[in-house]
Amino acid sequence: MDMQTPPQVLLGEALRRFSRAELARELGRDTKTIARWEKAGLDRTSQMALLFLLANSRPAPTSDKGDFTFIDLFAGIGGTRLGFERAGGRCVFTSEWDAAAQRTYRANFPVDERHALIGDIREVTAKERWDLIPAEFDVLVAGFPCQPFSIAGVSKKNSLGRKHGFACDAQGTLFFDIAQILHQFRPAAFLLENVKNLKGHDKGNTFRVIQQVLREELGYHVYPMVVDAKGFVPQHRERIYIVGFREEVDFDWNAFVAPRPDAKRLADILHPQDGSEEPEEPYTVGAKAKVAEKYTLSDKLWTYLQAYAAKHQKQGNGFGFGLVDKDDVARTLSARYYKDGSEILVSQGKKKNPRRLTPRECARLMGFDTPERRYNIIAADTPAYKQFGNSVVVPVIAEIARIMKPGVLSIKEGRAERSLLAA
């Protein structure tokens, strides 16, 4: 890195190595200055100070080495990437269309001439610009959007006597782009993630088409499973994971090791507010790192939510808010959390309105933070809530990657042996 490096890349690299508080201390600034840099950029003097610090500080976490390679499609802010890196994988290509998510991704992962970040995967598949993706990679991972799948087109083609080749049922969907990439590159394995309700979408037709394409059209051995993140994190969050291998391997979901469902409680992710952690503005302030008042619900919003819940309880519905304390497990964090926070409201006692989680607590709730590395949140609260609500639970992905790894390596080693024999 030098003075030609874009300022936000410099700052992102610094915040990968240091927390806001640590960076402020190293540079002799305060955390408000660091937060201002994230929003407004840096002047030349600040750039020079960052360059000097980076050149003389501990190295950043690196993903230059790995036991296997993978590409990250519909990447969001990199939760799946973090999980696969924890299992020894190295990411070699990324695609994510949302500009705000891209900025967060770039602030946490190196993206350079060796690793492309493409905005829209259809830029690759529609124009057949396959050279944008590395010629060889071992695993494709994707948290793809669930779109309607139509079988009407196939029926029409059948009635007209026309051919309906590869993945015709899925054309017009983003899953079709994944299928095209699998068809073109034939990686050893894949992991696809989606909401639990994918299995029942369109009366089961969507899931039927997905399995048909993966198994019959592409010839992969497919293993779907619904997994609840409860125990990995203090959150009830069920998702469907579809694992596939190009060749038959010894893969079994029984190898998946899940913690006890009560292994984690919200106390594990909430700000302690007792001075045991450093303040991280704008989330926590003061010597005891108290949660900022802006996260406490206004009287108007709290009154509305209580009335809304009471109305639906009278009607026999389950709608309402989710009030929790440190000993509880939360409901599923959603992308709409920024609206009112109703699914996860943290109790602050009878004399004070409850509060929303801070974005830092959301990062912990989704498993992004570890003792070794704190995820860099550069977005304002609203996009940050959307980004974490749309993400995956990182330790769940890491465990899936762990049990996939032996199969991936066996296929990879077999390919290497065949290449040697051919030579």
**HSE-up of residue 203 (Cα within 13 Å, Cβ side):** 2
Q: Is the Cβ–Cβ distance between 225 and 252 less than 8 Å? A: no
- Convert 103-121 into a string of H (helix), E (strand) and C (coil): HHHHHHCCCCCCCEEECCC
Pairwise CA distance, residues 77 & 65, whole Å: 21
Is 423 a residue whose pLDDT tops 70? no
Percentage helix, strand, coil for the chain under 3-state DSSP, each rounded to 5: 45, 15, 45
Residue 183's nearest CA partner among 162, 154, 213 is: 213
Question: Which DSSP category does 355 fall into?
Answer: B
As given in the structure block, the two tokens for residue 2 are: 């030098």
CATH code for the domain defined by 68-262+396-422: 3.40.50.150
pLDDT tens readout for residues 140-190: 999 987 666 555 444 444 554 544 455 566 666 888 899 999 999 999 999
- Whole-number mean pLDDT of the chain? 86
What is the full DSSP assignment across 218-274? T--EEEEEEEE-BTTBSB--EEEEEEEESS-----GGG-----TTS--GGGTS---S
pLDDT tens readout for residues 33-82: 888 888 778 888 888 888 878 776 644 444 467 899 999 999 999 999 99
Q: How confident is the model at residue 363 (pLDDT cuts 50, 70, 90)?
A: very high
What pLDDT shows up at residue 156? 45
Catalytic residue among 91, 146, 168, 362: 146
Q: Which residue has the tokens 């905005």?
A: 119
pTM: 0.81
Fold of 295-389: DNA Methylase; Chain A, domain 2 (3.90.120)
Pairwise CA distance, residues 59 & 41, whole Å: 23
Q: Judge whether 362 counts as a catalytic residue.
A: no
Can you give the residue ranges of every domain in the chain?
A: 7-55, 68-262+396-422, 295-389
What pLDDT shows up at residue 335? 92
Pairwise CA distance, residues 143 & 423, whole Å: 38
Average pLDDT value for residue range 253-257? 96
